[in-house]
């Protein structure tokens, strides 16, 4: 296992990049702790696979270094990096049995037969395939084959890291939940450094201790699920994490108040001079409909999603969503919205501004 360090790393697929927009990965410095379970989350095209391929050695970065522990592996081939990888689609040997497929990475490294037997049994139990160990992989469902791929990815205990690239795409929804839980358990037991690429926030938040959110070639936040929820460092994190995402309203900040469309909104903290395009960000969970206090809101739609209701509204032409308790009456008397002051975040040019002091 190893700590992974990315030093002034950047990548352009264009051999002669002219500007920042030619870079699929903009310059970054990051340390991924030894034994951490990371999810790499972001929308399509933000650079997740590019970053994963640089860590695995499938791609050489156009700038910067990759270190595993203290060793510089930037120029090392994938095979020399001692990592396991699980891809979106199954990679299994059809003519081999499930047992032989799971044992393959261990046999390859000359492990002894008794160890292989025990370890294969352990992994088979984890992926729920003990009863199928002697079946040929050919003829198994895509679902079962992908479970074998996951098992093969995890069978070696001596790897520096395990990299997963959207590994549950072909798995049915119920099994997805089960496998995610088992992956987490395996992580607790063996403490491998794991990096799990996904564009699904539920998958990311349930698997990882730390979620790495990427946007437009940059890591915009590396944090716990709670940090991403409470203090999104970039408006994209606010929007991408949460269902629905964070509300954003243009605002002028004056100390511990925000001026929003002619009204004053109290903030939970005081800010110095905030420059640039300023906005306040409020999670729908921290917005409350009122009969007159706060900002005027036009309610467009009410959605009942079982556990709670989502009220879709508009404040001065900006979408504002409110999460209200299940069964709450939403009628014409609710004309305004207020926000919990200490849950409001302030953004300047899309980046969170740290408050100067408590309000």
Q: Does 89 bind ligand ATP (CB under 6 A)?
A: no
| From 4, 48, 313, 334, residue interacting with ligand ATP (rule: CB under 6 A) | 48
**Number of neighbouring beta carbons within 10 Å of residue 80:** 10
User: Which region among 44-52, 259-267, 283-291, 329-337 touches ligand ATP (by CB under 6 A)?
Assistant: 44-52
Q: Which stretch binds ligand ATP (CB under 6 A): 39-47, 91-99, 135-143, 342-350?
A: 39-47
Taking CB under 6 A as the criterion, the residue among 2, 4, 10, 24 binding ligand ATP is 24
CA torsion angle for 94, 95, 97, 101 (degrees, to 10)? Answer: -60
Q: Tell me if 44 contacts ligand ATP by CB under 6 A.
A: yes
If one asks whether residue 21 binds ligand ATP (CB under 6 A), the answer comes out as: no
Stretch that binds ligand ATP, among 42-50, 92-100, 143-151, 272-280 (CB under 6 A): 42-50
State the minimum distance, in angstroms, from the CB of residue 11 to ligand ATP: 8
Beta-bridged to residue 315, according to DSSP, are: 318
Q: Which is nearer to ligand ATP, 44 or 108 (CB)?
A: 44
- Rounded to a whole number of angstroms, the minimum distance from the CB of residue 350 to ligand ATP is 19
State the burial class of residue 27 (Cβ atoms within 10 Å of its Cβ: 0-12, 13-18, 19+).
middle
Nearest approach, Cβ of 324 to ligand ATP (angstroms)?
34
Burial class (CB in 10 A: 0-12, 13-18, 19+), 71: exposed
Binding mask 147-176 for ligand ATP (x = CB under 6 A): ------------------------------
Contact pick of 6, 9, 37, 46 for ligand ATP (by CB under 6 A): 46
* Bridge partner list, 301: 312
Nearer to ligand ATP, 46 or 106 (CB): 46
Specify the residue for token string 């491998």: 192
Distance CA 288, CA 300 (A): 16
Tokens of 55: 């860590």
Residue 271 vs residues 40, 135, 229, 310, 342: alpha-carbon distances, Å:
32, 65, 21, 31, 13
Binding mask 177-216 for ligand ATP (x = CB under 6 A): ----------------------x-----------------
The one segment of 46-54, 109-117, 313-321, 322-330 that binds ligand ATP by CB under 6 A: 46-54
Tracing tokens 């261990």 back to the chain, one arrives at: 106
HSE, CB side, 13 Å, CA atoms: give it for residue 63. 18
Residue 5 CB-density burial (10 A; 0-12 exposed, 13-18 middle, 19+ buried) = middle
Q: Which of residues 295-324 bind ligand ATP (CB under 6 A)?
A: none
Q: Give the binding site for ligand ATP (CB under 6 A).
A: 13, 24, 42, 44-50, 199
């Amino acid at each position: 296992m190893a700590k992974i360090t990315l030093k002034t790393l950047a990548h352009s697929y264009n051999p002669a990049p002219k500007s920042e927009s030619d870079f699929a990965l903009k310059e970054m410095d990051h340390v991924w702790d030894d034994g951490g379970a990371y999810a790499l989350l972001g929308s399509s095209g933000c650079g997740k696979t590019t970053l994963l391929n640089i860590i695995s050695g499938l791609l050489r970065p156009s700038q910067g270094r990759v270190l595993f522990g203290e060793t510089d592996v930037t120029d090392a081939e994938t095979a020399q990096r001692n990592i396991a990888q699980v891809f979106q689609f199954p990679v299994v040997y059809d003519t081999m049995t499930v047992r032989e497929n799971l044992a393959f990475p261990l046999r390859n490294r000359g492990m002894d037969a008794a160890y292989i037997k025990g370890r294969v049994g352990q992994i088979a139990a984890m992926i729920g395939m003990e009863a199928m160990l002697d079946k040929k992989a050919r003829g198994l469902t895509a679902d079962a084959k992908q479970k074998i791929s996951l098992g093969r990815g995890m069978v070696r205990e001596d790897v520096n890291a395990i990299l997963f690239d959207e590994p549950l795409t072909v798995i049915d929804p119920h099994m997805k939940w089960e496998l995610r839980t088992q992956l987490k358990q395996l992580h607790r037991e063996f403490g491998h450094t794991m990096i799990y690429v996904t564009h699904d926030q539920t998958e990311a938040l349930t698997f990882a201790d730390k979620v790495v959110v990427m946007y437009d070639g940059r890591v915009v936040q590396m944090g716990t699920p709670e940090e991403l929820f409470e203090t999104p460092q970039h408006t994209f994190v606010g929007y991408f994490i949460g269902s629905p995402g964070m509300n954003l309203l243009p605002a002028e900040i004056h100390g511990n108040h925000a001026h929003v469309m002619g009204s004053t909104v109290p903030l939970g903290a005081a800010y110095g001079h905030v420059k640039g395009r300023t906005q306040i960000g409020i999670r729908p969970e921290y917005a409350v409909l009122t009969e007159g206090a706060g900002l005027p809101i036009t309610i467009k739609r009410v959605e009942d999603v079982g556990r709670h209701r989502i009220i879709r509204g508009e404040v001065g032409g900006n979408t504002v969503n409110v999460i209200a308790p299940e069964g709450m009456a939403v009628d014409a008397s609710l004309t305004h919205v207020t926000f919990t002051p200490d849950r409001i975040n302030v953004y300047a040019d899309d980046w969170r501004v740290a408050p100067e002091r408590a309000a």
